[in-house]
């Protein structure tokens, strides 16, 4: 009888775990679920649920909590997962690459799967993190710290296929949440600090077969190769370690690219170093490049462009435009035409001391003498940027763009460097300002102008993203362990919960049994909040 009950539960679970591509494409209409890393393919990280609003958010309480259990070799693993919620089932990742399915009503564990990751796994330049999964049809997809992509049965956690995306021995790793599009699973790689040559991959969702690969550092003869000299492209970096966005009508995939390598010594790689620190638009069926825009040519401050591209439609200068917005790590906010990559607008949104502004094509007007030096050179922002991997949020109803902002400078140092396979390939370093010389803020920007509407100051530079809701609330978190809610119109604090550990995740919202929930983490604990 017990086996029969388990079998029936598994069949019921299978029925509830069906997420065909059409559901993902129309995720904005599924208010009760959170189906992709950023909520929808357009990456607004916005919840249309309004049961929790600015009038009652102060009544939020913990409904349930889940204490994560880092794997044996998690080391300094940090919790940076964005949960996926599908029809009452929540899928989360735990450091370094574990996947767990939870009952979204109660937090009860349904199944858990952990990969066999060797103790000597390389993770050069980043902690042992995993930012989430993708779902498609009846499968869950996860990348692992040792650079594998794995397909799991959504009902049981059983492995369906397991493929190597990159060679971890030379520095490749996967830390991002994959993106499921049509019948493909799209992933990018970490590893620029080891001098790898980055790429974006697409795998067949059913078989794990590699469908295409786009290298972000062009080989000689490829478009963009003229921006490299000699053999520097072979160790050029350009990792792709954050989830992209997708426009199903234009059939364009938008992916952001990280820093060139070595990080702080640009003498060994003269030129603009495409497609590092860029956004690229690819055809998801073929991987063919349609356009690119480079935010920071010849970057020598480790200002990855690995931030979330947010898509929206609006009138710009009297013309209807399809737009992509991005708050960049280099402290500038950008609007681009997402059909062509044309630069539309850009402005400083956080303190920076390396450029006087942007020219008519969006290229930075670099201040002479702002490069790293052997003696050290103070520049704002720090290598961690004016923002980083954590998500912004866009409210399509109000036209507000919310971004967690880091206010920190650093003394940048340059050093000589030689490449050694599988070892750090940096060319310098930084000494970041701290204490009273560093802080943070949640800032609300007018998405069309980039002008600041309000800010909510934080004691230290944040590592957590934000989420706006139809209830007029913006949720965020701090290093000091506070999970908080702000009035979207004014930035005034409305609610605060002390979680007991640093908040390093992007909040989400879902509903179950007609009740809205808010999800965030503190330390290694995942909290689910509600009104009742």
Q: Clarify whether 302 is annotated catalytic.
A: yes
What's the full length of the chain, in residues?
532
Q: Write out the H or E segment, with its range, that includes residue 184.
A: strand 184-188
Q: Which residues of the chain have pLDDT under 70?
A: 1-17, 70-76
> Environment class of residue 164 by beta-carbon count within 10 Å: exposed (0-12), middle (13-18) or buried (19+)?
middle
What's the confidence (pLDDT) of residue 4? Answer: 40
Distance CA 371, CA 158 (A): 50
Distance CA 491, CA 173 (A): 38
What's the confidence (pLDDT) of residue 2? Answer: 38
Whether residue 296 contacts residue 305, with contact meaning beta carbons closer than 8 Å, is answered with: yes
What's the confidence (pLDDT) of residue 77? Answer: 73
Distance CA 517, CA 504 (A): 19
| Residue/partner pairs of 52-57 with CB below 8 Å, 24 or more apart | 52/469, 52/471, 52/473, 52/509, 52/516, 52/518, 52/530, 52/531, 53/469, 53/471, 53/472, 53/473, 54/471, 54/472, 54/473, 54/487, 54/488, 54/494, 56/531, 57/471, 57/473, 57/485, 57/494, 57/495
Distance CA 294, CA 362 (A): 9
Instruction: Quick: pLDDT tens for 202-261.
Output: 999 999 999 999 999 999 999 999 999 999 999 999 999 999 999 999 999 999 999 999
Question: How many domains are there within the chain?
Answer: 1
Phi, psi (rounded to 5 degrees) for 226: -70, -10
What's the confidence (pLDDT) of residue 76? Answer: 63
CATH code of residue 250 = 2.140.10.10
Instruction: Work out the angle at residue 211's Cα, subtended by the Cα atoms of residues 210 and 217, and round it to the nearest 5 degrees.
Output: 85
Instruction: Quick: pLDDT tens for 266-293.
Output: 999 999 999 999 999 999 999 999 999 9
Q: Considering the entire predicted model, what is its pTM?
A: 0.96
Edge-first strand listing for the sheet containing 148-153: 134-136, 139-143, 148-153, 159-164
> Environment class of residue 473 by beta-carbon count within 10 Å: exposed (0-12), middle (13-18) or buried (19+)?
buried
What is the span of the domain harbouring residue 32?
Answer: 2-66+73-530
Which residues, including other chains, have CB under 8 Å from residue 8's CB and lie 6 or more apart? Answer: none
From 302, 313, 320, 416, active-site residue: 302
Distance CA 140, CA 46 (A): 23
What's the confidence (pLDDT) of residue 10? Answer: 45
Distance CA 103, CA 37 (A): 19
């Amino acid at each position: 009888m017990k086996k029969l009950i388990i079998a029936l539960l598994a069949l019921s679970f299978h029925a509830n775990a069906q997420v065909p591509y059409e559901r993902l494409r129309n995720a904005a209409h599924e208010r009760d679920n959170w189906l992709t890393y950023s909520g929808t393919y357009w990456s607004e990280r916005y919840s249309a649920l309004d049961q929790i609003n600015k009038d009652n958010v102060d009544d939020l309480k913990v409904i349930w909590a889940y204490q994560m259990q880092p794997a044996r070799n998690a080391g300094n693993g940090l919790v940076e997962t964005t949960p996926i919620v599908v029809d009452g089932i929540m899928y989360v990742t735990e450091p370094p690459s574990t996947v767990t399915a939870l009952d979204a009503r109660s937090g009860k564990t349904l199944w858990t799967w952990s990969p066999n990751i060797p103790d000597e796994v390389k993770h050069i330049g980043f902690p042992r993190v995993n930012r989430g999964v993708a779902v498609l049809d009846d499968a869950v997809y996860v990348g692992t710290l040792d650079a594998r992509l794995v397909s799991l049965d959504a009902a049981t956690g059983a492995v369906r296929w397991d493929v190597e995306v990159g060679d971890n021995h030379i520095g490749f790793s996967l830390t991002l949440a994959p993106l499921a599009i049509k019948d493909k699973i799209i992933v990018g790689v970490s590893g620029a600090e080891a001098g790898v040559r980055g790429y974006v991959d697409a795998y067949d969702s059913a078989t794990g077969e590699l469908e295409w690969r786009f290298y972000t550092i062009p080989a000689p003869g490829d478009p963009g190769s003229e921006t490299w000299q000699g053999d520097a492209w072979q160790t050029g970096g350009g990792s792709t370690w954050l989830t992209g966005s997708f426009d199903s009508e234009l059939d364009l995939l938008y992916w952001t690219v990280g820093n060139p390598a070595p990080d702080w010594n640009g003498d060994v790689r003269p030129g603009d170093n495409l497609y590092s620190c860029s956004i690229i638009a690819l055809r998801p069926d073929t991987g063919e490049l349609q356009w690119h825009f480079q935010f920071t040519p010849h970057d020598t401050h480790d200002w990855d462009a690995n931030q979330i591209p947010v898509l929206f439609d609006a009138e710009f200068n009297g013309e209807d435009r399809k737009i992509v917005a991005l708050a960049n790590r280099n402290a500038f906010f950008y609007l681009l035409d997402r059909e062509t990559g044309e630069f539309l607008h850009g402005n400083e949104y956080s303190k920076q001391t390396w450029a006087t502004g942007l020219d008519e094509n969006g290229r930075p007007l670099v201040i002479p003498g702002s490069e790293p030096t052997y003696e050290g050179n103070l520049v704002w922002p720090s290598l961690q940027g004016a923002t980083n991997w954590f998500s912004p949020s866009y409210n399509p109803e109000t036209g507000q763009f919310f971004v967690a902002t880091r206010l920190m400078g650093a003394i940048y140092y340059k050093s000589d460097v030689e490449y050694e396979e599988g070892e750090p390939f940096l060319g310098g370093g930084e000494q970041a300002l701290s204490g009273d010389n560093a802080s943070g803020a949640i800032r609300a920007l007018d998405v069309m102008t980039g002008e600041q509407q309000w800010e909510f100051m934080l004691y230290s530079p944040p590592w957590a993203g934000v989420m706006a809701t139809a209830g007029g609330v913006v949720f965020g978190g701090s290093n000091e362990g506070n999970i908080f809610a702000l009035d979207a119109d004014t930035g005034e604090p409305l609610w605060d919960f002390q979680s007991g550990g640093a908040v390093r995740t992007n909040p989400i919202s879902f509903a179950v049994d007609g009740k809205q929930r808010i999800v965030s983490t503190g330390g290694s604990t995942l909290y689910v909040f509600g009104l009742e």
